[in-house]
Structure 1
Amino acid sequence: MTSLNILSGGAAQGLVTGLAPQFKTKNGFTIAGEFGAVGAMADKLRKGTPTDLVILTEPLVTRLAEEGLVAAASIADVGVVETAIAVRARDPKVRITSAPELREALLASDAIYVPDTEASTAGIHVAKVLARLGIADAVASRLKIHPNGATAMRALASSDAKHPIGCTQATEIIATEGVTLSGSLPPGCELRTIYTAGITANAAHPREAQALISLLTSAEAREARARAGFIDAEGRRP
Structure 2
Amino acid sequence: MTNLNILSGGAAQGLVGSLAAKFKAQTGLDIGGDFGAVGAMADKLRAGAPADILILTSALIATLAKEGLAEGTSMKDVGQVETALAVRESDPLVSAPDATSLRNVFLGADAIFVPDTKASTAGIHVAKVLAQLGIADEIASRLKIYPNGATAMRHMAESDATRPVGCTQATEIIATKGIRVSGALPKGCELATVYTAAVTTKAAHAREAKILIELLTAADQSTVRAHAGFLPL
TM-score over 0.5 for the pair: yes
How far apart, in 1, do the equivalents of 2:78 and 2:22 lie? 17
* Runs of at least 4 residues off by over 6 Å: none
Tell me the amino acid that sits aligned with residue 9 of structure 1: G
Which TM-score applies when normalising by structure 1?
0.97
Tell me the amino acid that sits aligned with residue 183 of structure 2: G
Tell me the amino acid that sits aligned with residue 58 of structure 1: S
How far apart, in 2, do the equivalents of 1:65 and 1:189 lie? 30
Structure 1 residue 219 displacement after superposition: 1.1
How far apart, in 1, do the equivalents of 2:172 and 2:211 lie? 24
2:201 equivalent in structure 1 = 201
Tell me the amino acid that sits aligned with residue 34 of structure 2: E
How far apart, in 2, do the equivalents of 1:76 and 1:232 lie? 13
Structure 1 residue 184 displacement after superposition: 0.4
1:175 equivalent in structure 2 = 175
| Cα deviations by residue, 1:67-118 (Å, 9 ceiling, x for unpaired) | 0000110011000000000001100110111110000010000100000000
Tell me the amino acid that sits aligned with residue 208 of structure 1: E
How far apart, in 2, do the equivalents of 1:156 and 1:188 lie? 26
Structure 1 residue 130 displacement after superposition: 0.2
1:45 equivalent in structure 2 = 45
Q: How many residues align?
A: 233
Provide structure 1 residue ranges, at least 5 long, that are not aligned to the other structure: 234-238
How far apart, in 1, do the equivalents of 2:129 and 2:95 lie? 17
2:142 equivalent in structure 1 = 142
1:29 equivalent in structure 2 = 29
Is residue 219 of structure 2 the alignment partner of residue 219 of structure 1?
Answer: yes
Structure 1 residue 3 displacement after superposition: 1.0
1:76 equivalent in structure 2 = 76
Question: What secondary structure sits across from 2:227 in the alignment?
Answer: helix
Give RMSD over aligned pairs.
Answer: 0.6
Provide structure 2 residue ranges, at least 5 long, that are not aligned to the other structure: none
| Cα deviations by residue, 1:104-162 (Å, 9 ceiling, x for unpaired) | 01000010000000000000000000000000000000000000000000011011111
Identical columns (%): 64
